[in-house]
Amino acid sequence: MASRIEVSLKPGLLDAEGEGLRRKARDYFGIQIDSVRTVHIVTIDAALGDEQLQRVQHEIFTNPVTQISSLAPLAIEADWVIWVGFRPGVRDNAGATAVEAMEDLLGQRLGKEEAVYTSKRYCLRGQAIKESDARRIAAELLANDIIQQWKIFSRDQWRPEEGVGIIIPKVRLDHVPTLTVLPIDSDETLQRLSDERNLALNPNDIPVIRAYFLDPRVQAERAKVGLAEPTDLELEYISQARSDHCNHNTFRGLFHYSDPETGEDETISSLFKTCIEAPTLTLEKQKPWVVSVLWDNAGVGRFDDHHYYTITGETHNSPSNMEAYGGAITGIVGIYRDPLGTGRGSRLIMGSYGFCVGPRDYAGDLKPRLHPRRLLDGVIEGVRDGGNKSGIPTPFGQVLFDHGYMGKCLVYVTALGIMPAKINGKPSEKKTILPGDLVVMCGGRVGKDGIHGVTASSETFSEHTPAGHVQIGDPYTQKKMHDFLLEARDEGLIRFITDNGGGGLSSSVGETARFSNGCKIQLEKVPLKYAGLDQWEIWVSESQERMTVAIAPEHERRFFELSARHGVESTVIGRYTNTGKLHITFDGKPCAYVDLDLLTAGFPQWRFDAQWRSPQDRGLHEPVLREPRDHSQLLLDMLARPNICSKNWIARQYDHEVQGTSVIKPLMGVDRDIPSDAAVLRPVLGSSRGLAFSQALLPFYSRIDAYHMTTCTMDEAVRRLIAVGGDPEHLGGVDNFCWPTIQYHPVDNPDGRFKAAQLVRSCRALRDLCLAYGIPLLSGKDSMYVDGHLPGRYGESHKVSALESLQFSATSVIPDIRRCVTLDPKMVGDLVYVIGSTADELGASEYYDLLGYVGCQVPQVHPEAFLTRYRALSKAMGQGVVASCHGIYRGGLGVHLALKAMAGRLGLEVNLDALPADGATRNDKLLYAESAGRFIVTIDPSRQGLFETVMGDVPLACIGKVTEIPRLVIRGLDGETVIDLTVPALKAAWQKPFGDLS
């Protein structure tokens, strides 16, 4: 029998959650609510006695100091009650931990069919609240119908003795697992089946698949194990492995690139091979610190003689666009599994985020599934809970607003780990599998999660069908697994480890089986969340928090002992073999028998037509603009731009101190509120070596040319490292491409050829700058199809495509953290220098955007000159000559001088006529050009000579000094003061847009 416990704060105690809801309803929708009380509901679907129920009520679910609770609905005054609970099959983390706590307290296990579900009801008071308001609060603030259900009660409808009723979102499939054999009598039949079953097979692949299954040798071998035509599981396996997500068909495609203006015409086979793999292989030979690249879940670089760091990054765009919180938490928790599955396992040491969304105050006609404001709130919370609850610091991140992300948002997540160079005397980065090793699945259980991604789900919703296609990450389960696997690693129990991510077992077992050349899996052994999954569903399910591990049979006992110690579920699901076959059975019956090398043989390359059109050809030109007169107001308005202003409310929600390794934090300066150039950690406690990390994202320049977008982005990431003391001889990179669809279609994608050309140019730039700066690509991923179709005012729909976007992450190792430098000026009287010259490069700048222009002259990177500069500055920092350093990034010199003044809470007096310039001859251009390769540094006057000597013939100039009175005073080219603003005035403008958020 099911029962229900309602828990709420004692009357009179501030309900912070309710208060947050009240504020949001007012700020977002103008709905006036007087007060909100939150009631937590624990619904227990288990046969417990009264006494047991009361024990769990009082000892687990009620804090006697602060809470009241009742087995009947609590009597709390309300004009409206909104109840929100999960749909069946959605991960209820609190429900799961409730079961653990109850089992512990009562000393008995709950039955197989018994469970605990959590939900909430919100008691709203306010005479002015209308029913439509209550609906809006439910649908647009509290719940997302993909994962949640809700009920609304007016004062009249509310029955105090019944409350919300007892709602049990239990999954009941009532389905006998069925394996289906699929006929392949013709290409058309297979194509039809692919469409019907959402297999998403590429039409060009279909003849290859048929040819394989019709091959007499294959048929004879299959007959011996009892199989003839392909099973649904086999086709699902092939479809997963051949998907763009797993196989990177776009980056491995054949591009025909042409530039009608220059007559250039080139065919490129695989952008991955030519622009990513080739330069990285070249650099791997030159850079002894590169340990392992291009094959494992993450790249590996040397931190010191005894430790390696691991790094990778990816995106979780589509799921986050549907369910922001669930998508983002699944994304960050998922990326953590990659370093954990690198080498024989690395411990996570940090994560980072990059969010690209539509304007937060969007008030236009388009109706995205989630308003950008709500979407941003959700992804912020998702990464917060994912990171904080994993005990992994999040010391760096970026947020960017652009209309193009209304169609689909971008959620970049990056993770770094560290591992000993040797485990039991053997290199930690190497791993392989021997025939006879056990295939072990660790962590969470398997349900109908993430099957066919977010696009599929052909099922209609009923009360008990699982809403499995969007998931909610469970950092608690994963943290337990993380701790367990690292202990197993240190005992030498792990032969091979990999993540269960996209593609589930199909991908993780399918790929690892290549190391031993075969496997035999007993699918019935895979632990399920609920009964009734078909075999193919078990095989491709993307249920989270799972790793696949290969262990030698002699380690089975100890491995499972440790697993139990840590409260982690692990299961042997088969053995690796050397038969060359992927062989799967279910209760002894054959489900799959496929040659592992099928996937490497003979599938046709995807083809793309790429036609470049120069900016001039596209009608772009510089605006006809005369210099503004009110420079002070202009600077204040620049500081309040959404892409420039303070977003501290996000950084403060992220734990960036856990593990005790923090050296340079995300927010630095006297008031701890200005974003630092890069993060620095001391990942090995007791060592004074530092690991520096930075990221950059400048998609705006793609409006002019994705080549320069790419070089500027990479240069910024590198410059951020140099600014904190990074070593220019150790630069690691991670590329994360997010691109709109590039396949040309005359109606659906008429500019596909141009977008394809942008991708080719971006990849060429990546290759060029990697080689010029010496950056091996330690890892990288691509995410295509960043487009969305949004309904408009009249029922029409609009395709909205994102800007061609590349997030570039960079790492460096700092021999001694004492050489690290922050951006805040520290001493009155210090000299202010600008390193690097300012050119007439305002194309796609923040300044032009403010005035409504794109322009044409995009910033350019001059790698040789810049690298010389970075080496010289690094040397100066090594000699301790630099008191503060800050790169000049988006927004230009004016914005970044203001940030420096705010960081030091000191004054800066500078003259623009002293500034090294190269073609920029006007105050507004000098202040807001976004030329790359520049820094602002402050120097002790007594070390000016040494500084200038070390810097050699690098373009630089002393443009002023640090003053005691906190004012930013800028004199223009003619010597007149053009800007004179106090630091509090600057800060007020910079904090204005989001300063009230916390």
At 292, give phi and psi (nearest 5°): -155, 120
- ∠ at Cα 410 (89, 310), nearest 5°? 85
User: What is the smallest separation between the CB atom of 145 and other proteins, expressed in angstroms?
Assistant: 23
Rounded distance between C-alpha atoms, residue 803 and residue 713, angstroms:
14
Q: Of the two residues 94 and 366, which places its CB atom closer to other proteins in the complex?
A: 94
User: What is the smallest separation between the CB atom of 48 and other proteins, expressed in angstroms?
Assistant: 16
Residue 589 in 3-state DSSP? strand
Rounded distance between C-alpha atoms, residue 450 and residue 467, angstroms:
9
Rounded distance between C-alpha atoms, residue 715 and residue 495, angstroms:
39
Q: Of the two residues 460 and 998, which places its CB atom closer to other proteins in the complex?
A: 998
Find tokens 């609850």 and name the residue.
Answer: 389
User: What is the smallest separation between the CB atom of 743 and other proteins, expressed in angstroms?
Assistant: 43
User: What is the smallest separation between the CB atom of 817 and other proteins, expressed in angstroms?
Assistant: 6
CA distances 963 to 15, 748, 907, 968, 984, Å, are 46, 58, 4, 9, 15
Rounded distance between C-alpha atoms, residue 964 and residue 827, angstroms:
9
Beta-carbon count within 10 A of 202 CB: 18
- Give me the numbers of helices (H) and strands (E) for the chain, helices first please: 28, 43
Q: Of the two residues 525 and 565, which places its CB atom closer to other proteins in the complex?
A: 565
Question: Could you tell me how many residues make up the chain?
Answer: 998
- ∠ at Cα 542 (372, 805), nearest 5°? 40
Q: Of the two residues 248 and 389, which places its CB atom closer to other proteins in the complex?
A: 389
DSSP 8-20: EEPTTS--HHHHH
User: What is the smallest separation between the CB atom of 826 and other proteins, expressed in angstroms?
Assistant: 5
Rounded distance between C-alpha atoms, residue 478 and residue 859, angstroms:
44
Find tokens 């259980």 and name the residue.
Answer: 445
User: What is the smallest separation between the CB atom of 395 and other proteins, expressed in angstroms?
Assistant: 10
Q: Of the two residues 205 and 824, which places its CB atom closer to other proteins in the complex?
A: 824
CA distances 676 to 641, 669, 899, Å, are 19, 8, 10
145: left (phi over 0), alpha (psi -120 to 50) or beta: alpha
Rounded distance between C-alpha atoms, residue 732 and residue 730, angstroms:
7
Give the residue from 457, 490, 502, 505 showing the smallest Cα distance to 330: 502
Rg (CA), the chain: 29
Close Cβ partners of 986 (under 8 Å, ≥ 6 residues apart): 635, 636, 639, 898, 901, 902, 968
Q: Of the two residues 262 and 998, which places its CB atom closer to other proteins in the complex?
A: 998
Q: Of the two residues 387 and 788, which places its CB atom closer to other proteins in the complex?
A: 387
User: What is the smallest separation between the CB atom of 214 and other proteins, expressed in angstroms?
Assistant: 52
CA distances 857 to 253, 916, 935, Å, are 31, 19, 21
Q: Which residues pair with 14 in a beta bridge?
A: none
What order do you get walking across the sheet with 290-292 strand by strand? 290-292, 299-304, 307-315, 410-420, 347-357, 396-401
* Helices 232-242, 187-196: inter-axial angle, 10-degree rounding: 80
Long-range contacts of 12-21 (CB under 8 A, 24+ apart): 13/66, 18/122, 21/122, 21/137, 21/141, 21/142
Q: Of the two residues 806 and 937, which places its CB atom closer to other proteins in the complex?
A: 937
Q: Of the two residues 200 and 658, which places its CB atom closer to other proteins in the complex?
A: 658
User: What is the smallest separation between the CB atom of 20 and other proteins, expressed in angstroms?
Assistant: 4
Give the residue from 658, 440, 744 showing the smallest Cα distance to 563: 440
Rounded distance between C-alpha atoms, residue 374 and residue 523, angstroms:
41
Rounded distance between C-alpha atoms, residue 541 and residue 471, angstroms:
11
User: What is the smallest separation between the CB atom of 93 and other proteins, expressed in angstroms?
Assistant: 6
User: What is the smallest separation between the CB atom of 811 and other proteins, expressed in angstroms?
Assistant: 19
Q: Which residues pair with 357 in a beta bridge?
A: 401
Q: Of the two residues 471 and 801, which places its CB atom closer to other proteins in the complex?
A: 471
- Burial code (b: 16+ CB inside 10 Å, e: under 16) for 568-580 equals bbbebbbbbbebe
Structure-token pair, residue 194: 């692919």
Q: Of the two residues 81 and 684, which places its CB atom closer to other proteins in the complex?
A: 684
Residues forming the site for other proteins (CB under 8 A): 9, 13-14, 16-17, 19-20, 59-61, 63-66, 93-94, 97-98, 100-101, 104-105, 107, 118, 384, 388-391, 474-476, 479-480, 483, 565-567, 652-665, 668, 670, 672, 682, 685-686, 817-818, 820-822, 824, 826-827, 880, 883, 940, 998
Q: Of the two residues 210 and 875, which places its CB atom closer to other proteins in the complex?
A: 875
User: What is the smallest separation between the CB atom of 77 and other proteins, expressed in angstroms?
Assistant: 21
Rounded distance between C-alpha atoms, residue 220 and residue 224, angstroms:
7
User: What is the smallest separation between the CB atom of 102 and other proteins, expressed in angstroms?
Assistant: 9
Q: Of the two residues 254 and 658, which places its CB atom closer to other proteins in the complex?
A: 658
Q: Of the two residues 100 and 131, which places its CB atom closer to other proteins in the complex?
A: 100
Q: Of the two residues 511 and 940, which places its CB atom closer to other proteins in the complex?
A: 940
Q: Of the two residues 292 and 661, which places its CB atom closer to other proteins in the complex?
A: 661
Q: Of the two residues 655 and 980, which places its CB atom closer to other proteins in the complex?
A: 655
Residue 604 in 3-state DSSP? coil
User: What is the smallest separation between the CB atom of 389 and other proteins, expressed in angstroms?
Assistant: 4
CA distances 72 to 42, 75, 162, 163, 599, Å, are 12, 9, 8, 8, 59
Q: Of the two residues 363 and 685, which places its CB atom closer to other proteins in the complex?
A: 685
CB 253 within 8 A of CB 589: no
